[in-house]
Structure 1
Amino acid sequence: MDLLGDLGDTDQLTSTRAENEILKERLNVLQKKYNILAIENESLKAEVEIYRSEAATSQSSSSTNSALDKAGTDTNQQLEMDHFIKSGDGTYAKSKSIELNNCHGPANVLCCSLSNDDSVLATGGADRNISLALWGNAFEQETTAEQVVESSLRLNCDAPVIAIDFSRKGHNTNFVAASCMDGSVHVIYYEKSGRTLNAHEVAKGTIKHGKYVRSLAWSPSENILATGSADGCVQIHKVVWNLIDPTDIVLEKIQNLQLSGPIESLCFREDQLCCYARGSPSLQCFDLQDNFAQQKINLNKGPGNAGFDDHVSFAVMDMSPYGNDYMALATDTSRNIIMDWKTGHHVRNLYGHKNDGYSQPRLAWSNNGQYIYGNSQTENVVCVWDVASSSIVDRLESHSNTIRDMHSSKLTDTLVTTSFDKKTQFWLSSTD
């Protein structure tokens, strides 16, 4: 009888385990359906806002009998219709290429950037290190991706590295800047020697903020670095060379700006520095050639915000310019915006992803300016929008966890993404 009882218990346990597996599969299916419905819900909310604003705009227009105002409105609408007429031609970084795993060992990779010639990858990690790697060596038969990671150059910081960027133009562009959770900013000078890298920190301890530095950027016209902190301060430094001793490099502070809230994002557009401070309804731009003269661009010029100039409905968590005409803005309300730089008008709104106030929204332009890459907190993919149609045309799959940062090359159709799965993924166009 005991034997039969044991057999019965075993059968029941096996049956229970099988039922649990079935329930897990059903739960995964339901979770995926929930994520899809959540994204669709956000899109519907956005459509409702657009319909409301259109109704408000129509009512306002009907109460105005001025032919001049009406002509001006027609002209503005015509100008908006002229943006991004042609759909994308399918050229963007879509094919998986080199994969670098564990660039920072067991720690998460938090940020990434590529040098001007795309040859050097810089990453920052939760292990308090900056990593510099000649990732292209992995294309050679005698070198594996693992060997590229092992041979990468590491420089230690005092806190996790959360933002990183290469200098873009100047006397010498072999600089990479990295900002940390403790408010420190490190500027590294590097040199390539064949298949190896040499690097050292310059002017150590010069740039220090009171709180963590979420965003930094180099000017596209000269070696000027801007860093923005959660203490609301933006510091601007210039690299100064010693003509007698080229190894003697100084970071000269040329301006200190105090904004009204934590600096969430910043970038350069030619000689203008554009910043966003949390809680502000505007982008704040400063002209470096005119003693940092300030210009405000109201963020409420889109169809979903008409008539509410001081209303703050989202925060700009990332921004990326394209040429001198457009600016892409990633918000914390599951909405990416394409803004006409000259007028401040929102010429496209991009939906279909999920990013709220607890996420790390990131975006980047394709090299030809026809597509936008972006992340989503509920999917481990790169969303690719065709800007002309405002629709997602591709979801690039490789990562097994949320994408933390991305960088798109201005030289080639190359995209690099980092994720909490500790993988750094390179994407190339199918024609490369």
Structure 2
Amino acid sequence: MTITQPDLSVFTTLESEVRSYCRSWPTVFDRARGSHLHDEDGHDYLDFFAGAGSLNYGHNNPVLKRALIDYLEHDGVTNGLDMSTTAKRAFLEFFQNTILRPRELPYKVMFPGPTGTNAVEAALKLARKVKGRETIVSFTNAFHGMSLGSLAVTGNAFKRAGAGIPLVHTTRMPFDHYLDDRTPDFLWFEQLLDDSGSGLDQPAAVIVETIQGEGGINVASPQWLRALAQLCEQHDMLLIVDDIQMGCGRTGAFFSFEEAGITPDIVTVSKSISGYGLPMSLCLFRPELDVWEPGEHNGTFRGNNPAFVTAAAALNAYWTDDKLEQQTLAHARTIEAALRDTAAHHSGSAYRGRGMVWGLELPHPEHAGRAARRAFQLGLLIETSGAHDEVIKLLPPLTITTDELDRGLRIAQRAVYETA
């Protein structure tokens, strides 16, 4: 693909230096549909990024778009704060009947604010309020958001450094396989909990991702997650699962923790919950944890009614049966086979993932960066992740066709080969 250098002057002169993704993909995007983005010069890009996981059902999904247009043409409420609206009622009913009840999940639903970090902040705040304790345990290489509370439980040194103040009241523990299985799971954690001289204040909660997306596609085993849930129960700690990127079907089932057979005390959901890329997040928790006073935690944009509309449409279109889940698992086998073949031809590399989130770890971080840039030149959007950006991260829309998936995987393989 021949790409003419676009005029980016308005972005480079007026927009803050904090921008990031646009530096990896130096073009001006104009349209998007399904698994494709098009720039203003007419170039087509397959999207294996999916809005960082906020577009599980693809760009401008026609079913969701129709529901949104109909709602807006009807002059439906746009900003409802926490007022009762028809759009909110429809979403809550669909969510209860399609997601919660079939899984026998008892959760109350809280709309904390429109982004993932808002949901995490609410979860941490609620856990501390319920238990009357300050300490939260998180894990190595975790990522939970960029606001201060979420940053405190995030592991990445670069992101933490941006806080500008000490990030306190948290303790880090090793994630699954962090010590290459040389020690039994939770040996250190249990020792600290059992020893009154360890200096570890009794935690209010533990927060965990079942798969660490930004941390490098580190996958926790079902056994590890079950052991963690048991440890939390034994030591009176709440278990918070951050399902912001890995929920909404990304791993196959709607919630990523379903495979482990656990029921977290609190679950954070965002990104693809609206289905259309519209800002929306949820904090789910057991009813007995609902100790909030009215207005004790709020936000102007927590009632994003257009997002409620597309969220309900997505649940109705994709979660009344298991067709999408089965398709995701079939696509997973295709992705795994392609990465297995690629890793076999590159010494020191490794692959890992679940459902439709996969990573190819390359022994030299600069190789991953070169491959991602070459993929862009070949018409594929992929990003890197991991502490040193050493992992090529594949995050295609769940609705991608088999032909599109095969073509994108071939481009990714070619990019890795050509930049080795």
TM-score tier, shorter chain, comes to under 0.3
TM-score, structure 1 normalization: 0.25
* Higher fraction of strand: 1
TM-score, structure 2 normalization: 0.25
The structure, 1 or 2, with the larger RCO (C-alpha pairs under 8 Å, 6+ apart) is: 2
Larger CA Rg, structure 1 vs 2: 1
